[in-house]
Amino acid sequence: MRSRFAHQMPFGAEVGNGGARFRLWAPTQTSVALAVAQTGATLPMQKVGDGWFELLTDAVAIGQGYRFVLADGMCVPDPAARAQLGDVHGPSRLVDPRGFAWQTPGWTGRPWHEAVIYELHPGTFSGDGTFDGIARELDRLADLGITAIELMPVAQFAGNRGWGYDGVLMFAPHIAYGGPEGLKSLIDAAHARGLMVLLDVVYNHFGPDGNYLPLIAPQFFDARRNTPWGAAIAFMQRPVRDFFLHNVLYWLKEFRFDGLRFDAIDHIEDGSEEPILAEIARQVRDRFPDRHVHLTSEDDYNSTSLLEFDEKGRPLLFTAEWNDDWHHAVHALITGECDGYYQDYADVPAKRVADTLATGFGYQGEPSAYRGGRNRGDPSAHLPPTAFINFLQNHDQAGNRAFGERIASLTRPEANEAALALLLLSPQIPLLFMGEEYGERGPFQFFTDFETELAEAVRTGRREEFRRSKVFAEAFAHDAIPDPNSLATFAASRLDLDGADPAERAARLSLIKRLLAARREHIVPQLGSLGGHAGKVEALNGGAFSVSWQLRDSGSLAVAANLAGSEASLPAHKDGTLVFEHPDGAASALAQATLPPWSVVCRLTLESRGVARAR
């Protein structure tokens, strides 16, 4: 079972019976050598064509360090290292992936429609900020009804604290979290509890500190364009495409992740006949036919080109996409905020919430005022509801606020609870952000661990970013924005599991657990019967609305919600099985054509031979 989960790569260090093969693509280098950390020896590598250098040697023992020496004498870590001995500037560590003894080798995953995702940051989720710290909480999450944990990026970045989106060693789980061994142990423990594990990966840029690829292979980057975070990647180059393709296969095979979330794919561009993301998805579907593997994306363009399904509803390429539109509309509705991108949703927020529930994206080709009138989005009503991931908050929606406030700090508890009920009772795939289950009120802020000029540049850039915001334009507010590089900013972002009022915490946990139990019993079994064009907005009245989804096998799922502080009239509804009501009495009120403030009612109607029946 040990070698079965080792992914063989065409670059980096591969352990074999005769030592290890070291391979590097360095097309502009005239020579490359291998530096052995243990002995200080420097061994010349052979040119093997097309910019590749290679060496087979037993000079580096498993667990020991090595680096590559470029023609000018500079020592650099292995861009494809499986682990580091220390930080991103030091020696890489030779790892034998065959040495981990998996306790759950038969795990093949869970189907997508069962997913209830819990996004977390490994460094702030627990007191010690490690993979082991996450593992200690798995029983609690599984008991709550979570079925998948999603890790923010773990590829090694500069320093010990950061969000992970500035990773530079894409194959090396961060040593601060526990390295590859700790990550595998976490995934093994999750699978033993029936939990999927998903990973956020960043393929649109490399971080600003510790990225030596411009020296090793400048062809790795597209000189014609940049992303907001750094140089764009040249996916037209075959070695570059293979680097990312094998990174995907590596995480899925060697670590047995159940899926990946691809960050900001609107900044991944190439002119190939088969786009890189399509190639990745095709290879994944071909190589893992007997596993449930889920590929999801974040895309500001609201593109649907990667969301294709066969006649049985199985994904041909990607599985689902984060739906920022749903979040923005709900947020604008329950907080009243209309600054920044919320301006696109503040006109008729309840209608926009209902529309996203019924047909997917809120912008499906319409002009976006926030984007200067540019048309945004593709039509999405043809997609099943499970092709969308909805959330009230995530790392971006909290951390990209100037002070990192969570939704619990921005609105009243009853509004927050009603929105949570709507999230968890709708047929889209729900995502909770760490701490949301018990009402965490502490911030999740943007933090880094850079040094000298880079630290100052990030600090200044962060404050300048919010100068354009109406809320933070005043100098006193601008100067008060937390310093990303301060240890205090990181510390403030840690979960405080014991900080909430015990009664409030218990009530929120009970609500979430009951909602997820109702979802599991009544809604999940019907999700396979929800295809494209299933959703319909039935009624709208102020902050209240009702939406229904037609089941393929006849019958319907319906949700009515009032996300406002006053009673609202909606068409009476009392057919079928009551799946959930919040608060108590809301269903009786809806039967009389009204909904109380901050309420949600979900009903399921199944039909047999044209006659409605209860379950």
Residue-wise pLDDT tens digits, 143-195: 999 999 999 999 999 999 999 999 999 999 999 999 999 999 999 999 999 99
Residue 615 CA to residue 605 CA, distance in Å, equals: 8
Residue 271 CA to residue 275 CA, distance in Å, equals: 7
Does position 213 have pLDDT exceeding 80, yes or no? Answer: yes
Given the residues 14, 263, 337, 405, the one annotated as active site:
263
Q: What tens digit of pLDDT does each residue of 493-510 get?
A: 999 988 778 999 999 999
Residue 609 has a pLDDT of: 41
Residue 612 has a pLDDT of: 43
Residues 6+ apart with CB under 8 A from 238: none
In the three-class reduction of DSSP (H, G, I as helix; E, B as strand; rest coil), residue 361 is classed as coil
Given the residues 298, 325, 355, 437, the one annotated as active site:
298
**Which pLDDT band, with edges at 50, 70 and 90, does 18 fall under?**
confident
Domains of the chain with CATH codes: 3-99 (2.60.40.10), 534-613 (2.60.40.1180)
Quote the pTM value.
0.97
Does position 99 have pLDDT exceeding 60, yes or no? Answer: yes
In the three-class reduction of DSSP (H, G, I as helix; E, B as strand; rest coil), residue 315 is classed as strand
Nearest to 319 by CA among 526, 108, 113, 528: 113
* Alpha-carbon separation of residue 452 from 295, 459, 530 (angstroms): 38, 11, 54
Residue 41 CA to residue 35 CA, distance in Å, equals: 6
Query: Residue written as tokens 């680097």?
Result: 243
Does position 607 have pLDDT exceeding 60, yes or no? Answer: yes
Residue 257 CA to residue 46 CA, distance in Å, equals: 35
Residue 124 CA to residue 489 CA, distance in Å, equals: 11
Calculate what percentage of the chain has a pLDDT beyond 90. 89
Does position 1 have pLDDT exceeding 60, yes or no? Answer: no
**Which pLDDT band, with edges at 50, 70 and 90, does 287 fall under?**
very high
Residue 44 CA to residue 31 CA, distance in Å, equals: 8
Under 8 Å between Cβ of 78 and 92: yes
* Alpha-carbon separation of residue 415 from 342, 422, 471, 566, 585 (angstroms): 18, 11, 22, 12, 17
Residue 611 has a pLDDT of: 41
**Which pLDDT band, with edges at 50, 70 and 90, does 615 fall under?**
very low
Structure tokens of 584?
């108590």
Nearest to 129 by CA among 397, 398, 434: 434
Nearest to 317 by CA among 364, 371, 248: 248
538 is catalytic: no
298 is catalytic: yes
Residue 34 CA to residue 39 CA, distance in Å, equals: 12
